[in-house]
Homo-oligomer: A and B are copies of this chain.
Amino acid sequence: MSRLHPGGLVVEPKLREECGVMGVKGHFEASNLVYLGLHALQHRGQEGAGIVSTDGEQMRSHRGLGLVGDIFGPTQLTPLTGDSAIGHVRYSTSGERSALRNVQPFVVRYGGGQVSIAHNGNLVNAARLRRELEQRGSIFGTSSDTEVILHLLATSQQGTFINRLVDALLQVEGAYSLILQTETVMVAVRDPHGFRPLVMGRVGDAVVFASETTALDLIGGTYEREVQPGEMIIVENGTQVLSLSPFPRRERKACVFEHIYFARPNSVVFGSPVYDSRFNFGQALHRTAPADVDLVIPVPDSGTPAALGFAFASGLPFKQGLIRSHYVGRTFIEPSQQIRDFGVKLKLSPVRSAIEGKRLVVVDDSIVRGTTSRKIVRLLREAGAKEVHLRISSPPIRASCFYGVDTPTREELIAHRLTPEETCAFVGADSLGYLSLEAMHNELKGKASTWCDACFSGEYAVPPENDAERPQLDLFGGASPDED
C-alpha cells in the first residue's frame, strides 16, 4: 500500500545553459586538469560529462551520465594519458534527450584520421544540413547538431584538417564555441557573433581553453584573453599558438543571460566580471522599480548579488529570508499526503524571525514560467511577511533561444502570455518590478548591439530556420535515459 512516488524536479528549473567546454594542450596531466576544470564548470551542465585525451597517437575517452565527480575516479582518469585533452559537461534535461550517445566530446575517425569535438552552442541550420548530408550518404549516430560539423569536416574537399574545418564552419549558422582535437593539434573556435563565451589562458606553458575563467582559477592558471568572435586558435607542436580569422566579420552578439544567470559569479565573461554585472543590475533595479519596504531579501543563490545591489542602492537592510538546502538532489520521494508547495519547501526554508511582520523586497534574477515565484511568495506570506514586493533583475523573458540555451516554448513563458500586472496578480505579490531592457544594457556598459538579448527582445541576429524551432530535436525520440 505504498503511496510514495518519486517526484520530478523539486523546483521548476530556470533556463538552462546547454554546456561547458574545456581543453588543455601541452601538459603532462592534461586529462586531470580538464577533469578539475569540468568540476568548476559543473553549473553549466549536470546531465553528463566526458573527457578525451591523446598522446599524439591514440585517443582515449571516457563519458558518462551524471555529475563529473560521479563519472570520474582514478579508474577512469588513469587511462586518459597524453598531454592533450578536451572535456565537456552537458546540461540536464528530461528523459528523452538524455542518452549517453549524446554525451560529448564525440570521437570519430574520418579520412584525415581521428578527431574529437566539444561544443557549446546550437546551430540554427543543423536540421537542413543533416538532411543534405544524409541524402549524400552520411549516417548519423546521435541527435546532436554537433555531429553535423563532423560530417561537414569529413566530406569537405579541402586537404588539411584546418582547411576542412574552416570549410565546414563556413556552412553552419548559429552559436558555437568549439574545442577540437586531433592526434597532434588542438583548435578553439568561436562563431562570428560570439554568442557563447570561450576564454584562453595558461598553466605554465600549457594552453588552456574554457567556457569560463573559474575553470582557470581552480587549476591555478592565468587568464589571457577571450577567444574572439570569429577567431580560430590553433595549438600545435606542443604549445605553439596560431590565430586565424577565417570567417566573414559579423556584429558581436554576446549572450546577455550569461551575465544574468548562467555564469558563476566569480567568472569574468565576455571580458567583464559577472558579479559586478549582477550587483549593478540590482542597483539599477532599485532605480527602475524602488519599493517602500523594511527589508531586502534574495531568492538564493542566484538572486543574491542583485539583491545586495538593490539593498546597497536603496540603503535598506538586507537579510537572508530564505535558506537554501544543498543536500536535496533533483528527484525526491514525495509523501502521498499532499504538502502544499512541497518541492519549493524542500529547497527553500523561510526564516520566520527575519521576515515576520516585515514588508519585503524579494529579488530574483529572472522569471520563466512564474510558478516557482508564486510558491515563494506564498511561502513568505505564510511565514509572516506583511508585504511581498517581487523585483526581477532582468527584463521579462518573452522569446525562445536558438543559440544554445534550453528555453521552454514561447507559450510557456509567463511574460509571453501575461502583462507584468497580470503576472504580479498570478504570483500573488504586492508589486512586481523588472529591470528594463535599456537599464540592463546601460549596466553592461556596451552598446545594446553588442549583446544578444533575443530572449527579451525577440530580435534574432541569426534567424532560426523553420525546423530549428525545437533546438536539439531528438531524432531517435525516446531512447531510454541510460542508453548507450
Using CB atoms and an 8 Å cutoff, list the residues of chain A in contact with chain B.
1-6, 29, 32-33, 35-36, 39-40, 42-43, 46, 57-63, 67-69, 72-74, 76-81, 100-101, 106-111, 114, 134-141, 150-151, 154-156, 214, 217-220, 264-266, 268, 273, 275-276, 279, 304-305, 308, 312, 317-320, 323, 325-329, 332-333, 335-337, 339-340, 345-346, 349-354, 475-480, 482-484
Contact = CB atoms under 8 A, between A and B. Distances in A.
Given A218-B349, A276-B354, A353-B276, A134 B114 contact: no
B139 A265 contact: no
A479 B323 contact: no
- What is the count of identical protomers in the complex? 4
Contacts of A304: 320
A308 B312 CA distance: 12
Nearest to A111: B134
Contacts of A68: 327
Given A39-B346, A80-B480, A318-B318, A137 B155 contact: yes
Contacts of A218: 339, 345-346, 349
Nearest to A265: B323
B137 A154 contact: yes
Which of A58, A107, A141, A354 is most buried by chain B, counting CB atoms within 10 A of its CB?
A: A141
B6 A73 contact: yes
B484 A74 contact: no
A335 B79 contact: no
Contacts of A151: 137, 139
12 contacts: A5-B74, A32-B337, A39-B325, A58-B476, A60-B477, A76-B480, A109-B140, A134-B154, A138-B154, A217-B350, A219-B339, A308-B320
A346 B220 CA distance: 11
Contact of A32 (B101, B333, B476, B484): B333
Contact of A476 (B109, B328, B350): B109
A107 B479 CA distance: 10
Nearest to A340: B220
A354 B275 contact: yes
A33 B335 CA distance: 7
Contacts of A273: 351-354
Contacts of A60: 476-480
A63 B317 CA distance: 45
B29 A77 contact: no
A62 B276 contact: no
A138 B137 CA distance: 8
Nearest to A220: B339
A155 to B, nearest CB: 3
Which of A3, A60, A155, A476 is most buried by chain B, counting CB atoms within 10 A of its CB?
A: A476
Given A107-B476, A275-B320, A29 B336 contact: yes
Contacts of A138: 110, 137-139, 154
Contacts of A32: 3-4, 333, 335-337
A267 B393 CA distance: 29
B58 A335 contact: no
A137 B109 contact: no
Given A109-B140, A110-B140, A135-B111, A74 B6 contact: yes
Contacts of A135: 111
A109 B144 CA distance: 12
- Per CB-CB distance, the 10 closest pairs between chain A and chain B, nearest first, are A137-B155, A273-B353, A2-B78, A111-B134, A266-B349, A108-B139, A42-B327, A58-B477, A139-B154, A110-B139
Contacts of A325: 39-40, 42
Contacts of A279: 319, 354
Nearest to A213: B352
Contacts of A2: 74, 77-78
A4 B77 contact: yes
Contacts of A63: 483-484
Contact of A110 (B35, B73, B137): B137
Given A35-B333, A60-B477, A266-B323, 8 more contacts: A1-B81, A3-B29, A29-B336, A39-B325, A61-B480, A80-B480, A109-B475, A273-B351
